[in-house]
Amino acid sequence: MSFWQFLQLNWSELLLLVRQHVVLVFSAILIAVIIGVPTGILLTRHRALRGPVLGIANVMQTIPSLALFGFLIPLPFIGGIGARTALVALVLYSLLPIIRNTVTGILGVEPSVREAAVAMGMTDGQVLRQVELPLAMGVIVTGIRVATVIAVGVTTIAAAVGAGGLGVYIFRGLRQYDNNLLLAGALSAALLALAADFFLGLLEGQFSFETKRGSVLPKVALAAAVLLVVVGGIALWRGGDAPKSAGQARVSVGSKDFTESALLAEIVAQMLEARGVSVERRFELGGNLPHDAMVSGTLDLYPEYTGTSYTAILHHAPTGDPRAVYDQVKQEYASKFNVEVSPPLGFENTFAILVRGEEARRLNLKTISDAAPHATRWQAGFGQDFMSRADGYPGFSKTYGLKFAEVREMDLSLTYIALSSRQVDLIAGNSTEGRIATLDLFQLADDRHYFPPYEAVYLVRQDSVTRVPALREVLSKLANAISTEEMRRLNYEIDGNKRDSKEVVREWLSGRGL
């Protein structure tokens, strides 16, 4: 599919994402200005506060955005998942340039001009409003401009906490190795940043009193800025107008940030909708976000794997018996989190240790133990998740005595392509990944049974099941409904054939009479 065709097919979704993006950036900047400018003014009046406050704002900006989102998620009121968290993080990022430029702008006003103002008999407030602020405005707008451009960039990452925006396309594009998605997301974000920069630049010119001659440009800039504010305001107002009928038949369905998880979530979402339940989709949340969100009550349900719950959430040492793991998880989730575990869906998604098929045939490799002697010549590529979790790399390399020439930590979805294009020689993928067959990758058998069973299940809050009885019916219908082969095929429909997940799910459900 060409990029142009992609745009024609997806323009309405793209516009929605652009709107979410603009609303986030606009609201964040608005709040940051409301907080930042008065703070900056205060700092010009109280020299002693200047160091500490600017220092704190500075530190805020050095925190990597994903880490900042991570800190915010468990916090009450300002945290959780969704636009609110993203907004808080964006405001924190935007404060520094705005506060700093307000201080610089005001302190940069010619001392003789300020002195003249005081000597004319202006009160403090008059000096501030009539002299200092107007003269500092150019510098303040520069700060707002810098903050806005930064915010447009950071907002792409906000998709990881379920806030929407163009990051949704970028993350999805990375995951599915889909250049059209990547390009549409990144290009739109870049255009937004350029547009914001351009218009705020024109506005900034409006305030340079030393060089301005009577020209129409500032009026155009002012008009454009006003238009931007109005459009942003309308978008904001309409954005806040989303259906909020928190009736009893409303369910918030989450998913992790990979295709299969989003697909499983979409299956439940469509089945619930078919039963008249309104569904809020909070898909593609990073790391253990869905768990935190469910425990805190923001999510009602999301798909999970028993092995992940067992090791990453409950912190047990990996073990091989599927039944024991399922029972243990079910019992502990009920007592610790008031969360129910659905019957298994019928397939496992375990880590698949993959090498190139051609390499496996040449060296006659069948199991991971077969491959161990070759590891010293190999580069391995692992996702961040695999590197860090209890049942991941450290135990894995120890169990098989693996010593790689080099281990690269990279985005999971990129590892498949890295392997087939010989950038790396061994990866830890997902066993249900559709590209295993299409890229001619070979799965080495886990002959020492290191990886715990990862049966797919849904986790659902107990109070949600009580509130929405349709949930229990849907989950029982899905018991043993999906085989590993079927899951692999569904994944490939989306990742390989680039089809829309809603459509794939709709087709599958009707084919199965669900």
| Chain residues in the site for another protein (CB under 8 A) | 112-113, 115-123, 126, 130-131, 134-135, 209-212
DSSP reduced 3-state for 429: strand
**Count of alpha carbons within 13 Å of 332, Cβ hemisphere only?**
14
Minimum CB distance to another protein smaller for 115 or for 406: 115
Minimum CB distance to another protein smaller for 24 or for 136: 136
Least Å distance, CB 118 to another protein, is 6
Residue 57 · residue 96 · CB < 8 Å = yes
Residue 280 · residue 250 · CB < 8 Å = yes
Least Å distance, CB 209 to another protein, is 4
Minimum CB distance to another protein smaller for 88 or for 106: 106
Least Å distance, CB 134 to another protein, is 5
Helix ranges (H only) for 206-249 are 217-239
Minimum CB distance to another protein smaller for 113 or for 231: 113
DSSP reduced 3-state for 367: strand
Residues 6+ apart with CB under 8 A from 76: none
Distance of CA 296 to the CA centre of its chain: 18
Helix ranges (H only) for 46-129 are 47-62, 65-72, 83-107, 111-119, 124-126
Minimum CB distance to another protein smaller for 76 or for 111: 111
Helix ranges (H only) for 317-392 are 322-337, 357-363, 368-371, 384-388
352-388: buried (b, 16+ CB within 10 Å) or exposed (e) per residue? bbbbbbebbeeeebeebbbbbebbeebbbbbbebbee
Minimum CB distance to another protein smaller for 112 or for 245: 112
Minimum CB distance to another protein smaller for 210 or for 241: 210
What is the sign, positive or negative, of the torsion defined by CA atoms of 149, 153, 154, 159? positive
Amino acid at 451: F
Going across the sheet that includes 301-305, the strands are: 278-285, 250-256, 301-305, 456-461, 339-341
Least Å distance, CB 3 to another protein, is 48
Q: Which of 161, 156, 190 is nearest to 173 (CA)?
A: 156
Q: DSSP code of 453?
A: P
Least Å distance, CB 206 to another protein, is 11
Minimum CB distance to another protein smaller for 49 or for 116: 116
Minimum CB distance to another protein smaller for 124 or for 406: 124
* CA end-to-end span of the chain: 31
Residue 252 · residue 298 · CB < 8 Å = yes
Minimum CB distance to another protein smaller for 136 or for 468: 136
Write the CA distances from 427 to 33, 379, 398, 418, integer angstroms.
47, 9, 16, 9
